[in-house]
Structure 1
């Protein structure tokens, strides 16, 4: 009996040694190389860094992939149910699923259901399909990927797809879709890298075609009193003079050329916002900013941007450029609690808006980026504020070159009589 116990103890010790050796070998194999995509996991009481490419290669190996069947994987996007289909295909489903990208703002975008299919196509190469939405006709995005040391290089393409089902993916987060009728198609080509930094896009080519929106009721603004939200307001109707051109130069230089939005500007801002802390800054047209003032508020997230876009597309049709500009000029906040171009001209410069000189109009429009901050700059540090006013002045169209140069020369020594009021 004693010999049997000694034999069993020896076998157990040998098994422990083998297990320990295998664990050490595995940990060594998982140790990331310099510059390699890495993650951290807990092993008993120890924290250990692991190579993500190695983990992916192991997980998609023909011997291990079938053993993932039935497991659940908890991620920041949601919990995915894994289903293996043979030795080289993995199906993962998440419901609901959340997408959190810095460039989309602080709030995650939620979709009712997502399904990801992955096919192993050889050494470090994969492809598959991402399907978004429940029901019989989800939105399908084919993808392919190549695994590199620094991350997973992704290529995604979305064929021209009707906008209505695409926007319906966002459910209650996009309440306008309960009454809006949206026509048009959207397509996308994108190259991105999934790595320690998250999902970063190197190439993003979205396209919109034949877009129209109806049913949001923006035609009511055609006869609305824009000053009602800005009381008290001085008497007067249409805003005329250089202030119109100055605001366009400051806020939306292609105002008369675009359909209410500029998709290329969105892409540029998206790429910049991937690495900057404040998301979704910039790229709003005057029409979109009017939509924000009237309908959506200024919460900085992707859903507000989509809502703005819906209203902007419809307003371009129901109101036209002239009415949009007049509404915008009448409702803009201009610092010191002042609202509207006419009130701002009288409060800040002591004269009606239609009597402003180009440099005065440029100065007033230069405040719009952040009116109260810009007013403080003029009080404490004039030069940066003066440079912005000069930039606006240079952008004013229909200003003859000789007069522009004279106005720029005068701006060098000109100081606004901030806070002066004209009796109503």
Structure 2
């Protein structure tokens, strides 16, 4: 009669059958410190074709493979996971980089945990190493880290589980003046980038839900007490298995200062423009829509400013003789300026105001309202009045030399 299979052998065979098809690598070590079995994923994670490629024992394994921690420090003798489990130690989540002995660079990154199976007497019966290949994940994280740190756009990363900042790049530190230790490890309440957000309630709600925070303007509190105007946005990301929020920032301080300076400049221009002693308008390039009209223009054309601004030359109407004015406008578009050209402005009561028209381009821009022309209608001097009188038909009369010539209604 065939003797029965020893229970220990039977249990080992069942264990092998169970783990043969799992995706994690599994290495079985006998208490006598021999590597007795490994599944295919474990062999692939070491780049060897068979069990012998693992070295057979802890010493043989150490001779063939060099292990480092993530900080690139080599594991000393006795600290290899294989040696630790042989010493009866059960451990969880040890991450090491694995390379061939003698090579400078690691080839794989393994996350390893151990099991010590005991017999009925409580003595080690079988030692197990369970390996997970994290090479792609850690390579991706390294690429992200390099990109994150090299990116000149200010950014920081907040861990959602405890709302603590775990990464900050140089761009953010340079923009704000913070030191890294003033941000990393600190909570969102200590360094609150959403404190001055234009839509703070929405941003906080999205942060709690781990959802995208849309772009919005915000004022960051700087360590020296000043504020900085930024546009911020938040994007949920995973750092390893940790849910995080990536905040990115665009510094708009310079833009806001420029906009404020532009507003002040425009205000000063408008004041000076309205104070001009001669009739003048500021108009857009396309349909000659009036953007600004000074008091002299409104007085001489008998119009209120509210009746003029926002209306085109055709809608007013601006010209008493549109055909002749069109010739001038065509010349202006060709040459970019007019100087002392004869034209008649339409007065509100139906009359015509004879003027010498000068025009120039103030600003060139893609925006219609920014591409403008200015028309100056100078009061007639004595010489101008005489010229007007000489050119005018006998039925027309000119007013005094102190004001623009006004033609009667026809």
TM-score under structure 1 normalisation?
A: 0.25
More strand by share: 2
Q: Which has the greater radius of gyration?
A: 2
Q: Which has the higher contact order (CA 8 A, sep 6+)?
A: 1
